[in-house]
Chains A and B, each alone.
Chain A
Amino acid sequence: MSPARLAIELQDLRLRVAPLVPDVDPGDLLLILENLLRGPGSGRAIFLRQDRPGVYVF
């Protein structure tokens, strides 16, 4: 899905879903909806690695 298409679909879905979950943080809502729209295998980072004590990297 192109970024432009993703933005259109994400905006549309957010408008429909947000009223059903008014207490979910708007930023979190967008992250969750984007992940749902893109689906597994779409290029997400999953693992956090400890580079040295207290320092984590993707």
Chain B
Amino acid sequence: MSADEDFIRQLARALREARLEAVLVGTGAAILQGVPLLTEDLDLLVRDTPLVKKKLDRLARELGGAWIEISPVTRARRLVGLRAGVDVLFDRIAGDLRFESLRARALRIRLGDEVIVAASLEDVIRSKQAADREKDRAQLPILRDALRVKEAAAQVPRRPKRKGSGR
């Protein structure tokens, strides 16, 4: 496991310790599903409730980071002082994709001894189409290609495993 992957594993552990339900959205979610991209931060979607806000304070303590507001015009906030920034978004993301529906379609991805809940590749594409910023438009071709390749790979018959291959 790389140090970057281990950071996401630690984030998953901190979410579990804080009992905070969150869905990893955006490019980070796509990368964990095989898309060949890099990102500067991670985006988490959570519910907007007073209890969740208390749990976010616990999350910061668990990870050793501190919260800052991203901008006066958004409620989203960023956890800084870590290997990578962790942005927290509340209730919905671009494309009017709401927490409950994203979570219902999300994947549970295992990283070592932890599991992170990540938005489906289809939902990552939907949100980036709706956000329509220059950086989203730049990522859409490889996101769409990766989704098509993933679907094609699921269609082809698997090669029989060799005896003694250890898999």
A-side residues, CB < 8 A to B, are 1, 5, 9, 12-13, 16-17, 20-21, 24-25, 28-29, 31-33, 35-36, 40-50, 58
- B64 CB within 8 Å of chain A: no
Contacts of B152 in A (CB 8 A): 17, 20-21
- B110 CB within 8 Å of chain A: yes
- B71 CB within 8 Å of chain A: no
- B163 CB within 8 Å of chain A: no
Contact present for B28 and A46 (CB under 8 Å): yes
- By secondary structure, the B interface counts as mixed
Contacts of A5 in B (CB 8 A): 165
Instruction: Give Cα distance in the complex from A26 to B18, angstroms.
Output: 43
Select B83's contact among A1, A20, A31, A47, beta carbons within 8 Å: A47
Instruction: Give Cα distance in the complex from A32 to B83, angstroms.
Output: 25
A sample of 7 inter-chain contacts (CB < 8 A) reads: A1-B167, A17-B152, A24-B148, A33-B149, A41-B9, A46-B4, A46-B5
Instruction: Give Cα distance in the complex from A21 to B7, angstroms.
Output: 34
Contact present for A44 and B4 (CB under 8 Å): yes
User: Which residues of B from 108 to 167 have beta carbons under 8 Å from A?
Assistant: 109-112, 142, 145-146, 148-150, 152-153, 155-157, 159, 165, 167
Contact present for B159 and A21 (CB under 8 Å): no
